[in-house]
Amino acid sequence: MKKKILCCAALLLATVLLLGFLQLLLMPKYMADKQEGALVGEYYRETTAHDLLFIGDCEVYECFTPPTLWEEYGVTSYIRGSAQQLPWQSYYLLEEMLKRETPKAVVFNVYALKYGTPQNEAYNRMTLDGMQLSREKLSAIRASMTEGESLLSYLLPLLRFHSRWDELSAEDWQYLFHRDTVSHNGYLMQTGILPKTSDREGVPLADYTLPATAMFYLEQMRLLCEEKGVALILVKAPTNSWRYYWYDEWDAQIADYAEANRLSYYNFIGLDGEIGLDWSTDTYDGGAHLNVYGAEKLTSYFGEILCRELGLTGHRENAEIAAVWEEKLDAYKQEREKGNTP
């Protein structure tokens, strides 16, 4: 009898291990393709604290470069952004980050405030699957699920990705137990150039009121930062293509909110001259996002403002931090160089 029980227990254990292995194998790795999906998880590899935390959607991880902030100002920063990162996802990610560290300021890009409801399962996955299991992750999942999604499938991703067994590639085996780092402290480098050719405006909307849910989470972010003694700075990246248009009416609402709550709000749209942006060379997708050259210009410009406003002096004198960051900067420059090589 005892032998039978032991055999059954061993079988069950073997099954659980097999399922665990299958889960590791079948989950998308986001290494060669759709690298945005790997961004959120990379934060946990950080060994040093940061002066600044950027949060938001693609406009943060494509427009601000932490290595440039280090190189020019000695400021340490991290971008916690992913594709179509919704306001509540940003909030819960921020909550999770502020449990781990206390930066001087949090910079939130406001574009995603146009979303008031869960949008897309694939983007949800890219943001949420990378989060470590925590109360914040569970809350973020609950707030983000679209129809047909289940909490269980986030806790056991095998339930979601089981059907990938017939599309496994070499990448899935290669990155079974580890992942490469695809970003530079959350910045996803794009070295291509596709000039902006149109100044088309966005289509008119029936209602320009930013969704109450989005504004609720913005307020939650503000309260959280206030509680932790961290400054909250609102920004809007300079990109404004007709596909991802930032309406004046939205801008006015954010400006009013910032004023009412004594927050800084920087809308970089239209500041091309001051920043030095050239839309014929500084975008990789026709103006929807900046490439590395544009991002460096914007970061350089914004870095000065941040240092001035927050009184940041940098950490160049701290040998330990400097060593970590110089290594990051080298990796950044190497990739930039590689991208420049035809």
Partner 1 sequence: MSFTSASFLLFAVLTLLLYYTLPKRWQWILLLGASYVFYFFAGAEYLLFILFTTAVTYLCGHLMQKRADAEDAFVEANRETLSKAERKEFRAAEKKKRFRILLMGLLLGFGVLAVVKYTSFVLSGISSIGQAFGAAPLRIPELLLPLGISFYTFQSMGYLIDVYRKTARAEKNPLRLALFVSYFPQLIQGPISRFGDLAPQLFSEHRFDGFRFRAGLGRVAWGYFKKLIVADTAMIAVKALVENKDGGFTGVYVLLLILLYSAQIYGDFTGGIDITIGFSELLGIRLAENFDRPFSSRSTKEYWRRWHITMGTWFTDYVFYPLSVTKSMQRFSKWSREKLGTAVGKRLPVYFATVTTWFLTGLWHGAGWNFIVWGLLNCLVILVSQELQPLYDRFNRHFPRLTASRAWGAWQALRTFLLMGLIRSLDCYRNVPTTFRMWASMLTDWNIGELFLGGLTSFGLSVSDWCVLLGGILLLALGSRLGKKRPVREWLAERPILLCAALCLLAVAILLFGAYGIGYDASQFIYNQF
Least distance from partner 1 to the Cβ atom of residue 92, Å: 21
Least distance from partner 1 to the Cβ atom of residue 145, Å: 11
Least distance from partner 1 to the Cβ atom of residue 162, Å: 5
Binding mask 114-153 for partner 1 (x = CB under 8 A): -------x--------------------------xxx-xx
Least distance from partner 1 to the Cβ atom of residue 27, Å: 13
Q: Is the Cβ of residue 17 or residue 252 nearer to partner 1 in the bound state?
A: 17
Per CB under 8 A, the segment of 18-26, 31-39, 41-49, 316-324 that binds partner 1 is 18-26
User: Which amino acid appears at position 292 of this protein?
Assistant: V
Q: How many whole angstroms separate alpha carbon 117 and alpha carbon 115?
A: 6
Q: Which listed residue (7, 176, 223, 331) binds partner 1 by CB under 8 A? A: 7
Q: Which listed residue (18, 176, 223, 331) binds partner 1 by CB under 8 A? A: 18
User: Are 185 and 78 spatial neighbours (Cβ–Cβ below 8 Å)?
Assistant: yes
Least distance from partner 1 to the Cβ atom of residue 126, Å: 14
Least distance from partner 1 to the Cβ atom of residue 23, Å: 9
Q: Is the Cβ of residue 26 or residue 277 nearer to partner 1 in the bound state?
A: 26
19 is an interface residue for partner 1 by CB under 8 A? yes
Q: Is the Cβ of residue 133 or residue 203 nearer to partner 1 in the bound state?
A: 133
Least distance from partner 1 to the Cβ atom of residue 67, Å: 37
Contacts for 179-183: CB closer than 8 Å, 24+ residues apart: 179/29, 179/31, 179/38, 179/41, 179/42, 180/31, 181/42, 181/45, 182/30, 182/31, 182/35, 182/38, 182/39, 182/42, 183/35, 183/38, 183/39, 183/42, 183/61, 183/79
User: Are 25 and 162 spatial neighbours (Cβ–Cβ below 8 Å)?
Assistant: no
Contact set for partner 1, span 150-209 (CB under 8 A): 150, 152-153, 158-160, 162-163, 165-166
Contact set for partner 1, span 204-263 (CB under 8 A): none
Terminal-to-terminal C-alpha distance of the chain: 69
- Helical residues (DSSP H) of the chain, grouped into ranges: 2-26, 39-42, 58-61, 66-73, 87-100, 121-128, 135-144, 151-155, 158-161, 170-174, 212-228, 248-260, 272-275, 292-310, 319-340
Q: Is the Cβ of residue 160 or residue 315 nearer to partner 1 in the bound state?
A: 160
Binding mask 88-117 for partner 1 (x = CB under 8 A): ------------------------------
Q: For residue 261, which of 220, 312, 305 has the smallest C-alpha distance? A: 220
Q: Is the Cβ of residue 165 or residue 242 nearer to partner 1 in the bound state?
A: 165
Q: Which two tokens stand for residue 142?
A: 């609950």
Contacts for 266-273: CB closer than 8 Å, 24+ residues apart: 266/233, 266/234, 266/235, 266/236, 266/302, 266/305, 267/235, 267/236, 268/235, 268/236, 268/237, 268/238, 268/298, 268/301, 268/302, 269/236, 269/238, 269/239, 269/240, 270/238, 271/238, 271/301, 272/238
Compute, in degrees rounded to 10, the torsion defined by CA atoms 199, 200, 202, 204: 130
Q: Which listed residue (22, 193, 194, 231) binds partner 1 by CB under 8 A? A: 22
Per CB under 8 A, the segment of 10-18, 66-74, 273-281, 313-321 that binds partner 1 is 10-18
Least distance from partner 1 to the Cβ atom of residue 156, Å: 9
Least distance from partner 1 to the Cβ atom of residue 331, Å: 35
Q: Which listed residue (4, 45, 262, 308) binds partner 1 by CB under 8 A? A: 4
Residues that bind partner 1 (CB under 8 A): 4, 7-8, 11-12, 14-15, 18-19, 22, 121, 148-150, 152-153, 158-160, 162-163, 165-166
